[in-house]
Chains A and B, each alone.
Chain A
Amino acid sequence: MKTINEFRFVVVLIIVLMATSFVIAQEDDTVIDPYTYEQNETCLQCHGQSSYFYYNEVVERDIKKRMNPFFIVDSAEYYDANHQTFLCIDCHSYEYEEFPHSGQLRMEPKFGCLDCHAGDEEYAKYKFEEIDDEFHKSVHSSKHSEDFTCSMCHNPHTYKINARTNENMADFILYDNEICLTCHAEISKYQLLTTMDNPSVLETHSWLPNQVLHFKNVRCIECHTEINNDILVAHNVLPKEQAVKLCVECHSKDSRLLASLYKYQFTDERSNLGFSNKAMLDEAYVIGANRNYYLNALSIVMFGFVLLALFIHAILRIIINYKRHE
């Protein structure tokens, strides 16, 4: 009897494990090693919660404490993010496995993107080196030196590649704009690097007509970066004085958006109904950029025909009047 129960238990366990790995594989092609879950759980049992417990040997009882919110890692977000397959101690010191953590560990330098991604053939298509060059030209880097790191915008615990993979443009725009707003709409993070007051994004953009539509349909970087054709997402954030303020740079047939937001979707083909910039039209309607070839041609022909008819009519009137008065 005991053997049968053990056999049943093993069969159920195999089915559960298969189902679990199937679900994980369905959501993302990356399959996470169960060992990663197990190892990371050591950290996430405290850092994945808003509170944690530990046994205080001095008072000889369990103590419940609130976790510093800046040290909380959302495990669901983490296992959906780019670095989902990593062990915590791949990037953080293995000494963190001891509790209480040594105070000295706070001095541990954090990895930057290039520490892992530079010179890596597997990641060559992302052009990390060029991104780094662009970033170092940007106002973020030049004004704040080494204090401004990649992780300021790309939280390594949650960052998920977006521009190449997300087919829902509204989500993709929201995700990217939230990266900017984590500092530019949040004074506590903004003031990590400056003593200035954080200007209100809504007020500084009050000149922008249809502000809500613009914020929903384009990313901040469309106007605030210098376009670099070699990389997918521009990283040279310009000083505010150099941001695009001329509407016509986007609202025209050769719209700037084609080299930024619609970079990978862009084709110069017309839609079946004759609208220019088809890829853009699938997502939004941009006055000046989505003009219709057939309607334009028809309007010119009609206008020309009307002017010609009126001109002939006028000439005939003049000639006949002249003859009558002779």
Chain B
Amino acid sequence: MSEKVYLYPVWIRLWHWFNAILCLLLIVTGVSMQYSDPAFPMIRFDWAVSIHDISGIILAINYILFTIGNLTTSNGKHYIFRKKILKNLIVQARFYAFGIFKGEDPPFPITEKSKFNPLQKFSYIVIMHAITPIVIISGIMLFFPELISFDIFGSGALHITDILHVIMGFIISIFLVVHIYFCTIGRTPVSNFKSMFTGFHEKH
């Protein structure tokens, strides 16, 4: 019987799964719009626009609730950089690149006080505190395109905003793939997925 530690309260799990579903919907509909083609329609353009808009609005609300949750509970402390972040990142990266194949123990074991390893912490902070706000703000601007019908540096603000939105969306989609893969690195390949349903993390 493995040792279990309670890391994910109900609100975190609800936020996480809502976020996951919304991100998937946004990525699929976003790709469908970006590569729209009458000969190979992925999703009907107007449906893709509607699903993307609705999902984006819910995701923005979900993000606000997550921020409030982080400000009012101890969960926020996991989203702050600590000392020696660069050195710890290198140690963790070395573990994933080599140590994991040599049977080494993880250099930063998961505990209630530190539920993310340095690479997780770095990627979650960048995604949640930088990329997601940019994608939400640019998404709001694209939702009201008439407000940005002016030029910046000789290009349309709408155009620049959309490019920024697409690039941020692409980074999130890369993160999603990597995140899902790294979740298979647990006590068993599915134990981390289970922990997001039960709230309990199974230690290695």
Contacts and interface: CB of A to CB of B under 8 A. Distances in A.
Interface of A: 209-210, 212-213, 246-249, 251-254, 281, 284-285, 287-288, 290-292, 295, 299, 302-303, 306-307, 310, 313-314, 316-317, 320, 324
Interface string B38-77: 1001001110010000000000000000000000000000
B174 A285 contact: no
B145 interface: yes
B159 A317 contact: no
Given A281-B159, A295-B163, A320-B101, A288 B33 contact: yes
30 contacts: A209-B46, A212-B146, A246-B44, A247-B36, A248-B36, A248-B38, A251-B36, A252-B36, A252-B38, A254-B37, A254-B38, A285-B158, A285-B159, A287-B34, A287-B36, A288-B34, A290-B159, A292-B163, A295-B167, A299-B170, A306-B174, A306-B177, A306-B178, A310-B178, A310-B181, A314-B181, A314-B184, A316-B101, A317-B185, A320-B101
B146 to A, nearest CB: 6
A316 B97 CA distance: 10
Contacts of B103: 320, 324
Contacts of B181: 310, 313-314
Interface in B99-113: 100-101, 103
Contact of A213 (B44, B49, B146): B146
Contact of A209 (B49, B101, B166, B173): B49
B167 A251 contact: no
Contacts of A248: 36-38, 41, 44-45
B156 interface: yes
Contacts of A299: 170
B101 A287 contact: no
Interface string B160-171: 001100110010
Given A295-B166, A306-B178, A317 B34 contact: no
Contacts of A303: 173-174, 177
A54 to B, nearest CB: 51
A265 B44 CA distance: 29
B149 interface: yes
B150 interface: no
B162 A287 contact: yes
A210 B170 CA distance: 25
Which of A248, A254, A303, A306 counts the most chain B CB atoms within 10 A? A248
B93 to A, nearest CB: 12
A292 B159 CA distance: 11
Contacts of B166: 295
B140 to A, nearest CB: 14
A295 B167 CA distance: 8
A213 B34 CA distance: 19
A206 B106 CA distance: 58
B37 to A, nearest CB: 5
B35 interface: yes
Nearest to A210: B145
Interface string B8-52: 000000000000000000000000011111100100111001000
A79 to B, nearest CB: 34
Which of B38, B41, B101, B163 counts the most chain A CB atoms within 10 A? B38
A288 B49 contact: no
Contacts of B37: 248, 252-254
A207 to B, nearest CB: 8
Given A290-B159, A317-B101, A302 B174 contact: yes
B45 A310 contact: no
A291 B35 contact: yes
Interface string B164-204: 00110010011001100100110000000000000000000
Contacts of A284: 156
Nearest to B31: A299
A252 B181 CA distance: 33
A299 to B, nearest CB: 5
A247 B167 contact: no
A249 B156 contact: no
B138 to A, nearest CB: 13
Contacts of A288: 33-36, 45
Given A306-B178, A317-B100, A320-B101, A213 B36 contact: no
